[in-house]
Structure 1
Amino acid sequence: MNPDWVGVDDPWIGIEPDMGALRRIVCETFRISDSDCGSAIPVTNLEYASYARVYSFSLPGSRSVIARLVAPVKPLFKTEGEVAAMDFVRSRTSLPVPKVFAYSSEANPVGVEWILMEYVRGVELGKAWKELDYDKKARFTADLVDIYDQLSRLRADCCGAIYHSTRRSMDILSTTSSLQIIHSPRWRALSLKSLRSLRAHCDHPLCDGDGLYELGPIQDCALLQYPLVVPPPSQTPLVFTTADYFRLLAYNGFPSTRSSYDKPTRDKVVELFRSLHALYPHHPLFGPSADPHIFRFCHGDLHDGNILVDPITGKITGIIDWECAGFRPWWIDVAGVGWLTEDRERFLFGADRPNNFANDESDPLNSRSDGCLRAFFRTQLHKRNPELFFCFLGGVEMRALLHAATDQPRPAGESGIFLGLYEETGCWDQRRRGPFPFDMTAWDLTRIMLDEMERERRANAKKGAIVSS
């Protein structure tokens, strides 16, 4: 076992949520009798559920409510951040984000953290896409551009997740023994310990004047990989530059949680990014001078399983799973969704060379081809917001580097392969950019030495296991 794999194979192992307790909470929240509440019906395949298990409960009046049970990965902060993100986006945009009725981010009778939220009709984009005709896909595409545009108008001066402000809660705590007067969708008021923890880490005000939100520890898919160490809030603090954001994600927290075996690969990807970043000293989107103007609100995990559409019209009906939302460099999230994610078609990703749209299809009886839809997406991006368009096209190389930086360690991860192919295929054009940022031969020798040390470590561990048995 590689020393980097020190997390868990499944965060749900040993956890059996009390569904009876959850059903009683649903009845309590909606003030209905036990006989008026349906049984929990799984919405997700529980066998493959990782970060959340989702159920629906039927309510009187042909209504339903969604219950999202949260795996114990980054307790308290992940749930608090997700609920605040949903509330923040609902209050500042017209995007279809489910309303939260109640939630618990602490220990409770269910046995895990949970969120009760509005049921949103629709089908996952990934399941509906093949059945949509061109006009419906075009409707979806226009809605996607609207999502990017509205989120991009939410700005901050740093990179971090968003949380409900705890300042008022702490003020009330100092003057009264009852916290129930705090208006919140929380099922029960937070404990003093949790309030203090949030207050200690979420202390940067959002510059919008209302004081309802604070910025705090970064939530990112790369930092929630439960097979690895999930760094605590103290190791994922706010950062104020793109370079620091990239570095924190690459090292899986700061101080780094990467092992001495894996760290040299991260070092090289970070070094490569710094060199690329420096090529744009005055660029308004990609260079160091762009900080902090490009820190915009992003969903963080906007894939075709987290967008619901109406299969009749193609209209986007819901955007779900906001656990990785927050402010980050704008170009990171403007990458398209599902079939419109073109990065792997245009640039090297992991061990995959670009496909250059070789699989795009065209209808000989209709000019509405795949290429036409892609052109429509780009045109709409540029028409709605030219900076969106430039983030989508110009950010591909930086997104590829970020993908390599946050990859898992070998043997599963492909960061080392990516670095070799990046240099070999001439992604760094030395005629325009100057010398390659580091000596690839020296780095390859370092990797060989580390591999030998790792083989020796495994052999010794195996011998020790045989002796002990």
Structure 2
Amino acid sequence: MGFVREHTGLPVPRVWGFWSHREETNFDTNPTSSDGKSETGTRRRESASSIGLNYMLIEALPGDPVGEVWADMDDSARSRFRGELVGYLRELRALEQPPVPMGGVGPSGSSPDGDARDGMGVGYISAMNYQPLTDHRIATVPYGPFEDVKGWLECEYLLGYVAKARPRNVYETLEGQLTKGDARVVFTHSDLTPRNVLVEKESGRITGIVDWDSAGWCVEWWEGVKGVYGWNDGSFAQKPGNDPQGSSSRLDNNLMAVWKSLLREVVGNFDDELKADEEMRDIYGFPY
């Protein structure tokens, strides 16, 4: 978030502090009898591992998630919201990707191929500073980084799994949908849904964009795919029959359709990639 605050005008919360809490997990090192006593009459407990939880204290920003108040916003507020969101997205995607520093700064502190180098070029897929990505859509653990888009697509969590689980023609069809044209690598929020954009209901002013834990450098269409991923989580919930102006179009009342149109205005058409992503989730057996 600090990188975005420093290089853009996006309303991003300040981070006040970060810390970890670790709790020791103990176990018995002596065998025990059925009555719970050790065979030697004593019980010795030793630390087996540490379970850690990370905490972050961030600034609380004003406003409400736009998904909760969209139905109550008038046409003027909705128009301002659209303009600001598109502007912020374009500003985010205009950031220049820095080269990987000398020697690389991957998860092990080495360059991507293990050799020291005078900085790798741009076009890599990673979190900040060539660190592993965090993305609940793809993996339950940090993954990557990757030297290029091809390496990312062929990882075990995307097309790499398809290649193992389905016939070659299925893999080739999905690969074609995901690799058409020369997609750029841009800075991506990767979870830009209505629950993560705060708005002042009366004016439509965006007061905050939050939840940056999945942010990083990724292929340009990923913002669109992730922006509508998990659409059934309540982010697009509407209040039935509530149209404050009585003049809004059906499109305006359907925030899901509005959201897709705003993403397309910046990202471009990502229908093929979205379809491919849905098919890959079906192959994985994802429940959503």
TM normalised by structure 2 equals 0.65
- Distance of aligned partners of 1:199 and 1:378 in 2 relative to their CA distance in 1, 3 Å threshold: closer
Q: 1:335 to 1:135 in 2, by over 3 A?
A: farther
Q: CA deviation at 1:143?
A: 1.4
For residue 389 of structure 1, what is the amino acid of its counterpart?
A: E
Higher relative contact order (CA 8 A, sep 6+): 2
Q: Is the 8 A contact 2:21 2:52 kept in 1?
A: no
> Residue type matched to 1:328 in 2?
C
Identical columns (%)? 24
Mapped contact 2:63–2:207 kept (Cα < 8 A): yes
The equivalent residue for 1:405 is 280
**Is 2:9 the counterpart of 1:94?**
yes
Q: Match for 2:73 among 119, 125, 132? A: 132
Contact kept? 1:90, 1:96, Cα under 8 Å: yes
Aligned to 1:334: 224
User: What does the per-residue CA deviation read over 1:49-76, in whole Å, with 9 as the maximum and x for residues that have no partner?
Assistant: xxxxxxxxxxxxxxxxxxxxxxxxxxxx
In the aligned structure 1, how far is the partner of 2:59 from the partner of 2:167?
41
Within the alignment, does 1:301 sit opposite 2:191 as a pair? yes
Residue in structure 2 matched with residue 52 of structure 1 by the alignment = none
Which amino acid is 2:53 matched to? V
Q: Does 1:252 align with 2:132?
A: no
Structure 2 residue ranges without an equivalent (≥5)? 25-50, 123-127, 232-240
Residue aligned with 2:57, SS: strand
Q: Which structure: greater helix fraction?
A: 1
Distance 1:400 1:156, change over 3 A: farther
Unaligned runs of 5+ in 1: 1-85, 168-194, 208-212, 281-286, 345-360, 382-387, 415-469
Show the counterpart of 1:240: 148
Q: Report the Cα distance in structure 2 between the residues aligned to 1:270 and 1:317, rounded to whole angstroms.
A: 42
Question: Residues 111, 325 of structure 1: CA spacing in aligned structure 2 closer, same or farther, 3 A cutoff?
Answer: same
CA distance in 2, matches of 1:223, 1:306: 19
Distance 1:166 1:310 in 2: 44
Closer/same/farther in 2, CA of residues 268 and 324 from structure 1, 3 Å limit? farther
> Is 2:203 aligned against 1:313?
yes
Is 1:147 the counterpart of 2:88? The answer is yes
Letter in 1 for 2:206: I
How many angstroms apart in 1 are the aligned matches of 2:166 and 2:93? 32
- The amino acid of 1:304's aligned partner reads P
The C-alpha deviation readout for 1:182-204, integer Å capped at 9, x for no partner, is xxxxxxxxxxxxx9955247896
Contact 1:201/1:237 (CA < 8 Å) preserved in 2? no
- The answer on whether the counterparts of 1:297 and 1:326 sit within 8 Å (CA) in structure 2 is yes
Q: Residues of 1 paired with 2:212 and 2:84: CA distance? A: 18
Aligned residues: 240
Amino acid at match of 1:409: Y
Aligned-pair Cα RMSD in Å: 4.4
Q: Residues 274 and 124 (structure 1 numbering): CA distance in 2 closer, same or farther, change over 3 Å?
A: same
Q: Which amino acid aligns with 1:220?
A: D
Asked if the contact 1:299–1:325 (Cα under 8 Å) also holds between the matched residues in 2, the reply is yes
2:152 partner amino acid: Y
Matching residue of 1:370: 250
Q: How does 1:175-190 map to 2 (within 5 A)?
A: none
